[in-house]
A and B are shown apart, each in its own frame.
Chain A
Amino acid sequence: MITGSIAAIGAGLAAIGAGLGIGKIGGSAMDGIARQPEAASKIQTAMLIAAAFVEAVALFAVVVALMGNG
């Protein structure tokens, strides 16, 4: 018998989405840096900002899961 909050499943699903998103951002940034190494610092900054937006979605899920458990 499995017990626990269904919020955990939601958090897991959100983690999948965020993982795909951040993976794509990171991969594209790598491509960009490989083609134009001199633009590396600019690409990194843009990458971090984009990653922060994606990550926020996953963190909303964490907060919702915590509230669901509380």
Chain B
Amino acid sequence: MDCSHVFDFKVKRLIVVFTLFLAFFSVTAPALAQVDTLQAAENSHSEPEGKEKFDIGKFALHHIADSHSWHVIGEYYIQLPVFLYTSNGLVSFSSADFLYDDEAKVVVEKGGQRFVKMHEKIYYASATPNEHGQYVQLDEKHHALNARPLDLSVTKNVCTLLISIVIILAVFLNVASGYKKRKGKSPKGLQSWMEPIILFVRDDIAKPNLGHKYERFMPYLLTVFFFIWFNNMLGLVPFLPGGANLTGNIAVTMILATATFLLTVFNGNKYYWKHIFAPDVPKLMWIVMIPVEIVGIFTKPIALMIRLFANITAGHILVLSLICLIFVFNSLYIAPISVAFAVFIGAIELLVAFIQAFIFTILSALFIGMAIEEHH
């Protein structure tokens, strides 16, 4: 009883802290005169080539990428903080200092160093601008050549990660306290909504693949399942709490796959390692078998990583491309068709969000199960 109050209090405090954190880097409208002139200059620059085709690829890739500001609605952005680990130590400032510039034209001076932002990456600024007014050196493919500080910023994806942590903690602390309060009684509220899903993970994912030792890995499997599922769903929400592409970020999926990889390697028993380094085949075959098996240890988590990343990214690109059709054909009459298709794909993506969480979890369980299987 007492515990549940503590949990409630902690969750509320977490939410308050997080809200304050967001409020601190509050929403700003581009009311600055400097920004207007900058944008005007940009518009006048692009007008002569205004007949250029609308580039779906660029638009979609920009929208699924990580970002230092979070688009709210219309002209409103949440400017997130920038933390840089430079050669002179840690430097921090608000990304609002870049004045909505993403083409390395605005230089921010902090801690005796000068930074520019180009395509959501932060570089050390060059001393003089190039012919386009950009403070970076460009190669022939328009990639910046300048050195980069280690970027530890709280970006859109990091914020989404924190939000999803708050949501998952709130949901599961509530469910856990429900089990304490109503021990041996029927579940109620959120608890009865989560219970079948938790049982699904236990009965359909853990038990068939891990055998009688499944209980050791239940915490990991449940965490991975709900983390991926909640974040997939958050990614499908087009407005503020969602909208980021967290599980479609290869760094995030890499960490998840690494966790599975480490669990597999450290829980592998002697039969598992014998199967890899001394398989039951003629000795001559070892020349072929052992390298293949060693590569197999690494390809499994890499496939896990790419599967989740590519599925979610492809889904986001698909929805964005369908919406973009309106701008490609430059006609309002396309709108109903493209919106109808986008809604249809959105419904499929809801299914994919669940299936990908399920696939990642069941394959993790499968790989761990292969490593801990007893010899018969």
Contact = CB atoms under 8 A, between A and B. Distances in A.
Given A45-B362, A59-B314, A62-B314, A52 B57 contact: no
A69 to B, nearest CB: 6
Interface residues of A, number: 14
Interface in A1-47: 41, 45
B307 A55 contact: yes
B116 to A, nearest CB: 21
Contacts of B363: 49, 52
B355 interface: yes
Contact of B306 (A41, A56, A70): A56
Given A45-B204, A69-B57, A63 B359 contact: no
A69 B141 CA distance: 12
Most buried by B among A48, A52, A62: A52
Contacts of B57: 69
A63 B306 contact: yes
Contacts of B355: 48
Contact of B307 (A45, A56, A70): A56
- Size category of the B interface is 10 to 19
A63 B253 CA distance: 14
Contacts of A55: 307, 311
Given A45-B204, A69-B57, A52 B359 contact: yes
B312 to A, nearest CB: 10
B115 interface: no
B362 A60 contact: no
B359 A60 contact: no
Name B's interface SS: helix
A59 B306 contact: yes
A41 B208 CA distance: 13
Contacts of B307: 52, 55-56, 59
Contacts of B61: 66, 70
Nearest to B205: A45
Contacts of B306: 56, 59-60, 63
A57 B57 CA distance: 22
A55 B307 CA distance: 8
Interface in B331-375: 355, 358-359, 362-363, 366
Most buried by B among A48, A56, A60, A70: A56
A50 B189 CA distance: 36
Nearest to A61: B310
Given A48-B355, A56-B303, A69-B57, A63 B362 contact: no
B364 to A, nearest CB: 12
Contacts of A48: 355, 358-359, 362
Contacts of A52: 307, 359, 363
A41 B358 CA distance: 14
A57 B295 CA distance: 17
Interface of A: 41, 45, 48-49, 52, 55-56, 59-60, 62-63, 66, 69-70
Interface of B: 57, 61, 204, 208, 303, 306-307, 309-311, 314, 355, 358-359, 362-363, 366
23 contacts: A45-B204, A48-B355, A48-B358, A48-B359, A48-B362, A49-B362, A49-B363, A52-B359, A56-B303, A56-B306, A56-B307, A59-B306, A59-B310, A59-B311, A59-B314, A60-B310, A62-B310, A62-B314, A63-B309, A63-B310, A66-B61, A69-B57, A70-B61
